Amino acid sequence: MLGAIFFVVIKGTIDVGGLGVVIQRNFDSGRLEWPELTFDPKVRMSMLAMLVGNLAHNSYNLGCNQIITQRYLSLPGLKEMAHTSFIFISGLVVLMSICIYNGLLLYATYYDCDPLTTKLAVAKDQLVPLLVVQSLSNFPGVPGMFVAGVFSAALSSLSTGLNSLAAVFLEDYIKPLVKKPLSEHQIAITMRLCTVGIGVMSVALVFVVEQMGSHVMQLSMTIGSVVQGPLLGLFVMGLLCPSINSRSALFGSVVSFFFMGWLCITAQLAINSGEMHFESKPVSIDGCDYDFQRPLVTPANATFASDEPASLTFVQQVYHISFMFYSVMGATVGVVAAHIAGFFFGRNKAEDVDLELISPCIRRFQKSNYLSVKLDETILKSSNEKS
């Protein structure tokens, strides 16, 4: 996939006229600008939203995700896990940088003839294939290699996710309900059936996602935060809040899940109804050299009348918050709800907490179990006397 993207980026940059042309056209159109420095959480892509949102999102992906956890457990030790994480983060930074530059290249290529406005492309996710076809059409087989590279990368990640979910269903839902231990053959059949079922559900949900807007990254992070927020909060409770017991943690996670579900659904409905709208950068069709139906053309960056009220109620202020904060909000709601539930479900005693299971920065504030230390010393002394 990286090879295919590199080839498209290099060929597209040469066709445009070089890196300087790409940068200049994006700078002149206002697409290269300093991030907005504000503490208003309703600003969609402020510096604060990017820092906090990406920190929470990547903390979940690298520390709490089922897929990455399975890969960690396949390594021999913590040192190898740290090295693997560093390599993964480095590769992720490179890949994201290429994707960002690819977006700049798309505008530089179509800066005076926007394909979305002329209906040459129906959706934003068709712009990259359009660039591939137009810039690489003289190279037989290369467009097909690009498609194969993208599909292979997508299917690789998809298969990993399906296998992880199937393993969770098997261990947490199927095995506890079965009276007799499953044989290897039964486990294999069960895993395959779970994978097929989850795959069918995923394909069916595509038709639902198709109706939920064109902001792919926002939609992905919004839907993912329904689960990411509660799970991130659950890991925070386990590592940093030793006084929270299992019942309080479960209560906090459930509250966070329903809160995030309400928040994401309400925000998406507000976007679809026009209550929430996002300003687009200007585009042009002055340089188009092909025919299209101009009377039917609506500029892709046209501004329509919005139903957004001048003053927002408290509930509206909540779901108008930038989607970048969703994972943090879910984790915060879960931790706060768990602490409140502690007044009803009780709290863990200091001597009942295993210090190896909490973060080292919290251990210094936790009372040690001196009884176990004395017991270990007694056992050690008696074993030395026998030897």
What is the spatial distance between Cα 28 and Cα 5, in angstroms, rounded to a whole number?
A: 26
**259 pLDDT tier (thresholds 50, 70, 90):** very high
| H helix or E strand, kind and range, residue 80 | helix 78-109
Residues facing 46 on adjacent strands: 36
Looking at residue 190, its amino acid is: T
Phi, psi of 181 (to 5 degrees): -60, 140
Strand stretches in 52-128, DSSP E: none
pLDDT at 374: 43
Q: Is the pLDDT of residue 367 over 70?
A: no
Looking at residue 300, its amino acid is: A
Q: Which two tokens stand for residue 303?
A: 């501004």
Q: Is the pLDDT of residue 379 over 60?
A: no
**300 pLDDT tier (thresholds 50, 70, 90):** low
Q: Is the pLDDT of residue 295 over 80?
A: no
DSSP type of residue 34: P
What is the spatial distance between Cα 307 and Cα 96, in angstroms, rounded to a whole number?
A: 35
Which residues, other chains included, contact 227 with Cβ-Cβ below 8 Å and sequence gap of 6+? Answer: 257
More confidently predicted of 263 and 277: 263
Looking at residue 88, its amino acid is: F
Q: Per-residue pLDDT tens for 89-117?
A: 898 899 889 989 999 999 999 998 889 88
Q: Is 102 within 8 Å of 22 (Cβ atoms)?
A: no
* Average pLDDT for the chain: 83
**302 pLDDT tier (thresholds 50, 70, 90):** low
Query: First CA to last CA across the chain, in angstroms?
Result: 62
Q: Per-residue pLDDT tens for 4-45?
A: 788 889 989 999 999 999 999 999 888 888 878 888 888 888
Q: Percent of the chain having pLDDT more than 70?
A: 89
Mean pLDDT of 356-369: 76
pLDDT at 231: 93
